[in-house]
Amino acid sequence: MKSLLWSAILVATVIVSSCQAPMPEVPIDEAGLIPIPKSISSTGKGFLLNSEAAIQYKGNGNKLETIANYLASRISPATGFEMPVSQNFGNIILEQTSGEASEAYQLKVDENEVKITSTTEAGIFYGVQTFLQLFPTEIESSSVESVDWVVPTGSIQDEPEFEYRGSMLDVARHFISIEDVKHYIDQMAKFKFNYLHLHLTDDQGWRIEIKSWPKLTEIGGSTEVGGGKGGFYTQEEYKEIVVYAAEHFITVVPEVDMPGHTNAALASYGELNPGVNLPDGDVSTMVEGKIDFDILDRNPVPAELYSGIEVGFSTLATNKEQTYQFVEDVIREISEITPGPYFHIGGDESHVTEKPDYIYFVERVQELVQKYGKINVGWDEIATSKLLPGTIAQFWAEEENAKLTKEQGNKILMSPAKRAYLDMQYDSTTRIGLHWAAYIDLKDSYSWDPSTYTEGINKFDILGVEAPLWTETVTNRADIEYMTYPRLAAIAEVAWSPSNLRSWEDFQRRIAIQGKRWDINKIGFYRSPQVNW
C-alpha cells in the first residue's frame, strides 16, 4: 500500500510540475519595453500562454471589443492559438474602470492571469502594447512558431508625460499611398503615439480633394519632387485614413500650409497669385495709362508646376478677398471630415510675404479655423502675430518664437529640427535625407528633454512632442522605414516617459530587442553603429 501511495504522489507531482509556467527569459523589469513605463515591479515568475487562453473585456466602452480583437489578431498568427474574445470568460482581462478619464493604465501579470485596467479605452490600448512587448520577439511572426509563450510576471503602473505625442508625415513632396500611411499608423501605435500630422499641401503637390476647388488636385496633385505623377486622396480616402487611425487611438491633424509653400495651389488657380501677370502688348487692362488691377484679378496667369526642393518663393495673395474665400472653403471641407480638434495652418518659411501681410493673413485665418470649431496649430513663425487663445505654435527652428508663444499664454508643440526631424541624415554616409539642421543619429534623437531644451520654456508650457518626416528625398515605404526607425522609437520615449527614468545605456539594450522585432516584420531600419544589434 505504501508503494502505491508514493507512486500516486509522484504522479501528482509530475502533473502539477508540468502545468507550471517555465521561467521567463528576463524578468519584467528587464524586458525591452519602449517607451519605458513609469513604474515596474517584478515577481520573477512566468505566465504561460497556451491554447486555452482567451480574452475577456469588461466595461461600457464602445471600443473595448475592438481592442480585444486587435490583441487577439496580434497574438494568434505566431502562437496558432484561437484566442476567443468575449465578455464572459478569459484569463487575459481588459477592464475599463470608473474614475477620472486618463491615459494611465495598470498591467498586472501573475502565473494564472493577465489584467489590464484603465479609466479609458485609450489607456487599455496602451496597456495592450506594453503586454505585447513582454512576449518573446517571435510574437511578431505571421506564421506559427514553436516557442514557449512565457510572459514575465509583475506589475506596471504607467502614464504619459505629455498629452500630445505625434509624428508628421509629409505626403506633399512625394505622395504616400493609403496603404503606406496605414502601415505608418500601425508602427506609431506600437509606441503609444496618439497624433498623426499629415502635411497635405506644399509647393510640389496638393494631396486632398477640395470639391469646391477641383483644380487643386487635377492640376496641383499631378506632380511631386523629381517630376513624378504625384497623386491625391479623395475625401472618402482621407476619411478612410482618419477612421483607421482612430481605431489605433491616433488622431489625424490635417495641415494646409499657407501663405507660403503654396505653389501647387497657385498653379491650379492663378487668381490666388499676388503678382501682376500682364502679357506683352496687352493694353486691355490699361485705363488712362494705368493698370486696372480688378481686370488683372479676373484674368490671372497660373504659376508653373514645381518639382524641385527649394523653399520660400511662393505666397498667396494676402490682399484679395478671393484668397480668404478659398482658404475658408478648404478649412470648411477638411474640417467636416476631420473629427479631431486640430487644424494646422502651416505658416513657415513665407519669405516673400511682406511681414505686415503675413501677420494680417495669419490672424485672419486663425478666425476662420475657429469658425469651424477647430484649434489652430502652426509652425513657430505664427507666434510673430497675435495668437488666439488656445492656438498652438509648433517649435521647429526659432527659440524666440517659442518664447513669444509663451508670452501670449499659448502652448508649444516641441519639434526641434536638430533633434526631432526624421528626414535629417544619420551621418554623412546616409543614403537619403538632408542635413541642413544637423546630422541626427539615434543618441541625438533620444538624449534631450523637451522641458529643458529651450531656456525659459518648461513642461507647463508644452503641449507635447512631434517628430516630422519630410519627404524631399523619401519616395516609398522602404525610405520611410529607413529614416524613421529606430529614431521614432526614441522620440516615443522622449514624449511618453519621465526624463529621470530615461537612460541612454538602458535604451541601447532595449532598442536592440526592438530591432529583432523589426527584423521579423521585415522593416528595413537603420542599424545605427551606436547599438549592438
Q: Which residues are catalytic?
A: 349
Q: How many CB atoms lie within 10 A of CB 405?
A: 26
How far is 32 from 26, CA to CA, in rounded Å? 9
Locate 224 and state its grid cell: 511631386
Half-sphere exposure of 389 (CA within 13 A, CB side): 0
d(CA 415, CA 435): 16
Contact 206, 235 (CB under 8 A): no
Pairing state of beta strands 105-109 and 205-206?
unpaired
Residue 89 to residue 471: CA distance in whole angstroms: 47
CB atoms under 10 Å from CB of 38, counted, come to: 16
Q: Which 8-state DSSP code applies to residue 380?
A: G
> Distance between CA atoms of 116 and 30, rounded to whole angstroms?
20
**Count of CB atoms within 10 A of residue 428's CB?**
7
Using CB atoms within 10 Å of the CB of residue 421, give its burial: 0 to 12 exposed, 13 to 18 middle, 19+ buried: buried
Q: Which long-range contacts (CB under 8 A, 24 or more apart) does 379-382 make?
A: 379/346, 379/347, 379/348, 380/348, 380/405, 381/347, 381/348, 381/349, 381/350, 382/345, 382/347
Query: Tell me, what DSSP letter sits at residue 411?
Result: -
SS3 for 3-24 is HHHHHHHHHHHHHHHHHCCCCC
* Strands laid side by side in the 105-109 sheet: 39-48, 150-158, 105-109, 114-118, 92-96, 55-58, 85-86
SS3 content of the chain, % helix, strand, coil (to 5): 40, 15, 45
Query: How would you classify residue 82: left for phi > 0, otherwise alpha for psi between -120 and 50, otherwise beta?
Result: alpha
| CB under 8 A, 24+ apart: contacts of 66-70 | 66/247, 67/94, 67/121, 67/124, 67/125, 67/128, 68/94, 70/125, 70/128, 70/247
* Pair 221, 263: CB distance under 8 Å: no
